[in-house]
Structure 1
Amino acid sequence: MAEQNSEGGSHSKGGRPRDPALDEAIIKATRRRLVLDGYSTMTLGDIAADAGVTRPTLYRRWPGKFELVVEALDYGFRAQRDTYPSLNLDELPAIEALTEAVRRLDPAYFNPDAMVLMGNFMGETIRTPELLAIVCQHAVEPRVNLLERVLVNLQDRGEVRPEIDTRTIATMCFGSYFAAFLRTDADRAGLAEKVVAVLWPGIAVDPQEGIPA
């Protein structure tokens, strides 16, 4: 990672000020190569050429391909979080809160190529398992855990049945995006709304009777 200078900028290992625009160009070139070639096949030479820089420029910033890819992944994680609307899901009506949480499960919420990236990282499990572990830790578990927290909150509010398995429901909802991607004839637009419409009658408590609907 780059060192911060006294003005809040960053320096490369050689002490030269780093150009944020150049860093971003390299990061975006890396992310594109991950989609096109996958981690094992992509090369620093290709990334440098795509970004319009030299290989020494990359090595002044990152020790190697793995470290560059980790920063490229972090770039995507932060960009996706910044894309989420500013909402307090605990205060939304039940179906709205649940729908927004399911919507945020979508790997392609920010990046349309995210499903291909996920597939590439799953394919790297044997060769470079730490990459998929990073994706699971920073991109999968936070989203699935959010949906579980929303469900638990709705249980506490008396709107969702207390006996439902929140972990299994969250896993099923996350899997729906992969199923929609693989079923190329499936309409992926509005998937969160469709999933919640099917799921809600089976988990909701009837507010009139105080029993499962």
Structure 2
Amino acid sequence: MTPSRTASGEPSGELSARKSGPRGGRPRDPGVDEAILVATRRRLVTDGYSRMALGDIAADAGVTRPTLYRRWPGKLELVIDALDYGLRAQTAATPPLLLEVMTPKEAFTEAIRRVDPCYYNPDAIVLQGGFISEADRVPELLEHVVTRAVEPRVSQVENVLRQLTDRGAVRADVDTRTVATMVFGAYFGAFLRGDDARTRAGLADKLTASLWPALRA
């Protein structure tokens, strides 16, 4: 069942409390935090990191600039929190991958489906492409995305292949890292070649049809 979402794609009310709170005064309103983070994610898609302005984000969120600065000292800290907000929402909305109730081929297909950057957020490829373009100026952003978003998904494909190898369903000599990297890159390739979201949604089945005969034991 698809959870209800905000305009940026996150489930409504999914914001977790930040570790750092205000220094005295009234407690922070989590609804204000969420509005700012949602506005930040939207601006990342429409404007990109370099062009997005904190004043625009504050206006989009319906708050003042001092309200924003009381929570985040600068743009980098705000963007990293906005990314983590989306990742928390994605984790909460993604069911566990239960290999024991799947055939080996079904498990491999589902692992490929979940490696899609747009598996949860349809704007993810645009976001990640923007962070790649900022790698020289703001390397922390791309590093954060790779560590928190990309590597866990790609590693899951490797882990599934290893478990299927242990079950005797996949050849022991398969280069799991290369296979995992290849299926992840296939989604960017399809996007750049102009495939729409509907076409890319069927990519997992097509990749499995092409790769599984060479992988199975």
Q: Quick check: TM above 0.5?
A: yes
Which has the larger Rg? 1
Equivalent of 2:123 in 113, 125, 128: 113
1:23 aligns with 2:20: no
Q: Which ranges in structure 2 are unaligned for 5 or more consecutive residues?
A: 1-16
C-alpha RMSD of matched pairs (Å): 1.6
1:99 aligns with 2:109: yes
By how many angstroms is 1:185 displaced?
A: 4.0
How far apart, CA to CA, are the structure 1 residues paired with 2:131 and 2:96? 30
SS in 2 for 1:28: helix
Aligned residues: 199
Question: Residue 54 of structure 1 corresponds to which residue in structure 2?
Answer: 64
Please give the per-residue CA displacement for 1:34-64, whole angstroms capped at 9, x wherever unaligned: 1111111111101001101000000111111
Question: Residue 124 of structure 1 corresponds to which residue in structure 2?
Answer: 134
Identical-pair percentage: 63
- Relative to the length of structure 1, the TM-score reads 0.88
Question: Residue 200 of structure 1 corresponds to which residue in structure 2?
Answer: 212
Contact residue 2 and residue 13 of structure 1 kept, 8 A: no
The residue identity in structure 2 corresponding to 1:197 is A
Question: Residue 8 of structure 2 corresponds to which residue in structure 1?
Answer: none
By how many angstroms is 1:14 displaced?
A: 4.4
Contact residue 80 and residue 109 of structure 1 kept, 8 A: no
SS in 2 for 1:86: coil
Contact residue 2 and residue 12 of structure 1 kept, 8 A: no
Contact residue 13 and residue 60 of structure 1 kept, 8 A: no
- Relative to the length of structure 2, the TM-score reads 0.87
Deviates more, 1:76-85 or 1:160-169: 76-85
The residue identity in structure 2 corresponding to 1:204 is R
1:84 aligns with 2:91: no
Question: Residue 175 of structure 2 corresponds to which residue in structure 1?
Answer: 165
Higher RCO (C-alpha under 8 Å, 6+ residues apart): 2
Higher helix share: 2
